């Protein structure tokens, strides 16, 4: 049995061993991505305590939370190179320890600067959680299984987001948010040990680390990624949408539910639970749906585009302040927004395996730059409107921010769908 590059795999790593691979590859990396999403979305619930204890304005809160995204994005270019050279196991084991250190710094923070530093270290530390998982899937699983196993990985992340809704809301009623971050630091260390000692070594990772392409050549090969018209069309559509989706999931959906829909803290946590439950259902079902459509000759990009269009429609309902069923809106936002995760399967199926780490991280870098900018700028826009008091933000500020970014998303979607006279090559 060989991998996608034609190299022999270890005994027991064939297609008949999918159950074993799910336990020894997908499960350990999935737990790492679970931790990544815990860190990403935890501030959506603890933001009132943070703002009160440290004295953060809306812009400060947005910038501090988005420090995760900009640090994450800055790591992606070198991350792609080291993933392709040293393999996902080594890289993920090392970086998750940085996340643990960042969580400890955040737990000790008493001012905005320290919180930003801790949040940035967390962003660097979890920057490989998804990319290492996707790289491992490409190494160990046949091409036709990629949408499905990627969907399982995304489901782990969404379960992490679910854990930061009602369960976290109940926890912070009894314990301080600093204790929460000490616990996250400890679990991050355990995650690193799990990946180190459970995930098998792939022969291609050992070979690449010993005698793979020189770093200069690996950097030059990025031209195949950034020189692809298809990559840019797809990425422009996806990163604009994901910037909005991630910033609202990680922070701004909860204030919207409080300020516009008028929900109390418990109801906000319940609605965010529905948001992440929708995403959980989405990442599982869209992967299965895409795999079946692919068997029928319909490419994976079709359900990806349809889901993004539906997500933008749901966001418009948020902007129009349709508050009759806020939990339902959150459920739909989470479900349809998850369709953009199919973009990674599309890229993985259209680029050679030795470029997968760099392809995925190039896409991810754009996504998290957009998430940083969106999360910060939403706070800036909201802060332009006078507060109605009692720590609330202006509904008009929320509406203006949403409408501005929805307009950008529509432009990204139109750019991808605009007819091209010649066929683009992506490899």
Domains, the chain: 15-417 (1.20.1250.20)
Quick one: average pLDDT of 99-116?
Answer: 89
* pLDDT at residue 208 greater than cutoff 60: no
Compute the residue count for the chain: 427
According to the model, what pLDDT value does residue 94 have?
92
According to the model, what pLDDT value does residue 220 have?
67
| Alpha-carbon dihedral 400, 401, 407, 409, rounded to 10 degrees | -160
According to the model, what pLDDT value does residue 332 have?
96
According to the model, what pLDDT value does residue 178 have?
86
23-37, 54-68, 380-394 — which is least confidently predicted? 54-68
56 phi and psi angles, rounded to 5 deg:
-100, 135
Query: Is the pTM higher than 0.85?
Result: no
Q: Which residue has the higher pLDDT, 122 or 375?
A: 122
According to the model, what pLDDT value does residue 95 have?
94
pLDDT (tens digit, 9 = 90+) per residue, 132-150? 988 888 887 877 777 778 8
- What are 2's strand-pairing partners? 8
Confidence of residue 424 (pLDDT cuts 50, 70, 90): low
% the chain with pLDDT above 90:
28
According to the model, what pLDDT value does residue 206 have?
54
Helix residue ranges per DSSP H, 56-176: 58-86, 88-108, 112-125, 129-140, 146-163, 166-172
pLDDT (tens digit, 9 = 90+) per residue, 147-206? 778 878 888 887 887 787 778 778 877 888 889 899 999 999 999 999 988 888 776 655
Confidence of residue 211 (pLDDT cuts 50, 70, 90): very low
According to the model, what pLDDT value does residue 18 have?
74
According to the model, what pLDDT value does residue 37 have?
83
Question: Both tokens of residue 139?
Answer: 């190494």
Quick one: average pLDDT of 62-82?
Answer: 81
pLDDT (tens digit, 9 = 90+) per residue, 304-351? 999 999 999 999 999 999 998 999 999 999 999 988 888 888 887 777
- Mean residue pLDDT across the chain: 82
% the chain with pLDDT above 70:
90
Cβ atoms 256, 319 nearer than 8 A: no
According to the model, what pLDDT value does residue 422 have?
56
Distance of alpha carbon 427 from alpha carbon 421, whole angstroms: 19
SS (H, E, C) 187-238: HHHHHHHHHHHHCCCCHHHHHHHHHCCCHHHHHHCHHHHHCCHHHHHHHHHH
Distance of alpha carbon 288 from alpha carbon 423, whole angstroms: 28
* pLDDT at residue 405 greater than cutoff 70: yes
According to the model, what pLDDT value does residue 215 have?
57
Cβ atoms 184, 39 nearer than 8 A: yes
């Amino acid at each position: 049995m060989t991998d996608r590059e034609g190299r022999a795999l270890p005994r027991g790593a064939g297609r008949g061993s999918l159950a074993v691979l799910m336990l020894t590859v997908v499960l350990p990396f999935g737990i790492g991505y679970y931790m990544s999403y815990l860190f990403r979305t935890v501030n959506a619930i603890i933001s009132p305590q943070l703002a009160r204890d440290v004295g953060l304005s809306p812009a400060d809160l947005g910038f501090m939370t988005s420090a995760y995204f900009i640090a994450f994005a800055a790591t992606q270019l070198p991350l792609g190179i080291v993933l392709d050279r040293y393999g996902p196991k080594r890289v993920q084991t090392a970086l998750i320890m940085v996340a643990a250190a960042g969580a400890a710094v955040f737990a000790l923070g008493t001012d905005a600067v320290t919180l930003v530093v801790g949040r940035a270290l967390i962003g660097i530390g979890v920057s490989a959680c998804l990319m290492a998982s996707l790289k491992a899937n490409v190494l160990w699983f046949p091409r036709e299984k990629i949408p499905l196993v990627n969907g399982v990985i995304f489901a782990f992340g969404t379960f992490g987001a679910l854990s930061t809704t009602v369960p976290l809301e109940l926890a912070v009623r009894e314990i301080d948010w600093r204790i929460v971050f000490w616990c996250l630091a400890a679990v991050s260390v355990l995650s690193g040990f799990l990946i180190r000692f459970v995930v098998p070594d792939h022969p291609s990772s050992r070979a690449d680390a010993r005698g793979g392409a020189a770093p200069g050549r690996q950097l030059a090969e990025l031209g195949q990624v950034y020189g692809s018209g298809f990559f840019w069309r797809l990425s422009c559509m996806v990163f604009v949408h994901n910037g909005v989706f991630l910033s609202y999931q990680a922070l701004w959906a909860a204030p919207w539910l409080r300020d516009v829909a008028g929900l109390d803290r418990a109801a906000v946590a319940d609605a965010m639970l529905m948001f992440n439950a929708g995403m959980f259902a989405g990442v599982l079902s869209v992967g299965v749906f895409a795999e079946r459509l692919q068997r029928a000759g319909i490419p994976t990009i079709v359900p990806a585009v349809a889901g993004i269009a539906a997500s933008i429609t749901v966001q418009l309902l948020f902007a129009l302040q349709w508050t009759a069923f806020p939990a339902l809106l959150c459920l739909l936002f989470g479900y349809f927004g998850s369709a953009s995760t199919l973009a990674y399967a599309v890229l993985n199926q259209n680029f050679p395996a030795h470029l997968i780490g760099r392809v995925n991280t190039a896409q991810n870098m754009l996504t998290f730059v957009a998430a940083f900018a969106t999360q910060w700028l939403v706070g800036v826009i909201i802060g332009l409107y006078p507060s109605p008091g009692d720590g609330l933000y202006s509904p008009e500020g929320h509406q203006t921010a949403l409408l501005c970014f929805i307009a950008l998303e529509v432009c990204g979607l139109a750019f991808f769908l605009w007819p091209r006279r010649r066929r683009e090559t992506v490899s």
